[in-house]
Structure 1
Amino acid sequence: MKALIQRVMNANVTVNGELISNIGQGLCVFIGITHNDTPKDMEYMVRKLLSLKLFNDENDKKWKKSVVDEDLELLCVSQFTLYNTWKGNKPDFHLAMPGDKSKEFYEQFIQMLRNQYKPDKVKDGVFGAYMQVSIQNDGPVTLEIESRVNTGKNKNKNASKENGPLQAEESLET
């Protein structure tokens, strides 16, 4: 799983001009699901999204508070394009999980996020719909998290034999 996280003052999703979801201050999170994601990836992503220190504290010290600490909202938007590769100038999405399977996975992810936080603080768009997402970025702060070090390709070609294969599993534990 991959998350592109934007700290926002507010955000909303519309489909065909109809407002689907909106949040005030919090995080707008674009979620990509790859073909080999597992429930462990989902658990990792939920844990990270709820614990990332992306907000200032009461003394204006940066990077001290999480969305949970501040009782803020999350707006999640499914986005298969996060798992693109390039064929020349054209994007290719073969690394993304196929539609039906990813819809079920994404819905389980949203439910897990709601179960571990506050259901009314977790909003989302419409899976598979052509959506318009409006964001008032705060900072701007835009960060990316991926649940696995290896998503089918060895991203760390210098990893030793000892550290290489375990690195992906270990990253799920942080």
Structure 2
Amino acid sequence: MRVVIQRVTSASVTIEDKIHGEIGDGLLVLLGITDGDAQEDIDWLVNKITGMRIFSDADGKMNHSVKDTDGDVLLISQFTLFANVKKGNRPSYIEAARPDVAIPLYEAFIDSLSRKLNKNIATGKFGADMKVQLINDGPVTITVDSKSR
């Protein structure tokens, strides 16, 4: 699994001209799933995302996590995170998991993140054409791959 984590002051996802999910202060997380991903990848990434100290303390140092700040999370499925651009100019998405594999893992990720933060997680809709808006705070943008532990 691969994630792009962005610290935001607000973020939303619109599907068919309707806001499907939105948050205030917190994290926008783009999630890519590949074949071979499993619950252990989910557990590791959820712990990393919820424990990552990227929010400022009273002294302006990044010492707090999204859990510490009671921030929200907007989670968006993003198969293009596994784009392969080695050949030519058209990305190949062969490394991205097919929906029959990815959807159950995406749903398990939402459930694990929700339990870890003890709150509902705003989401997009798997496979939908989504418009994502965000105000990146910092900017702070971090990529993490569960296979690079």
Q: How far 1:114 sits from its partner (Å)? A: 0.6
Matches within 5 A, 1:100-139: 100-120=100-120, 122-139=121-138
Could you tell me which runs of 5 or more consecutive residues in structure 1 were left unpaired when the two chains were aligned. 150-170
When normalised by structure 1's length, the TM-score is 0.83
Q: Which residue of 1 aligns with 2:55?
A: 55
1:110 positional shift: 0.4
Post-superposition Cα deviations, 1:65-95, rounded to whole Å, max 9, x if no partner, equal 0000001001000000000102300000111
Letter in 1 for 2:110: I
Structure 2 CA distance, aligned partners of 1:119 and 1:65?
18
- Bigger RCO (CA 8 Å, 6+ sep): 2
- How far residue 119 of structure 1 moved from its aligned partner, in angstroms, is 2.3
Higher strand share: 2
- For 1:118 and 1:17, the matched residues in 2 are separated by 29
Choose 1 or 2 for highest CA Rg.
1
With normalisation by structure 2, the TM-score equals 0.96
TM superposition outliers: structure 1 runs of 4+ over 3 Å:
none
Q: 2: CA distance between counterparts of 1:72 and 1:15?
A: 23
Give me the whole-angstrom Cα distance separating, in 2, the residues matched to 1:100 and 1:123: 22
Q: Cα deviations across residues 42-75 of structure 1 (Å, max 9, x unaligned)?
A: 1001100100000111222x22000000010010
Q: Measure the CA separation in 2 of the matches of 1:72 and 1:119.
A: 10
**2:34 matched residue in structure 1:** 34
Structure 1 residues 12-161: aligned runs within 5 Å:
12-60=12-60, 62-86=61-85, 87-120=87-120, 122-149=121-148
Distance 1:38 1:104 in 2: 10
1:85 aligned counterpart, secondary structure: coil
How many residues are aligned here? 148
> Which structure 2 residue ranges, 5 or more long, are not aligned?
none
Percent identity over the alignment is 39
Distance across 2 between alignment mates of 1:70 and 1:112: 19
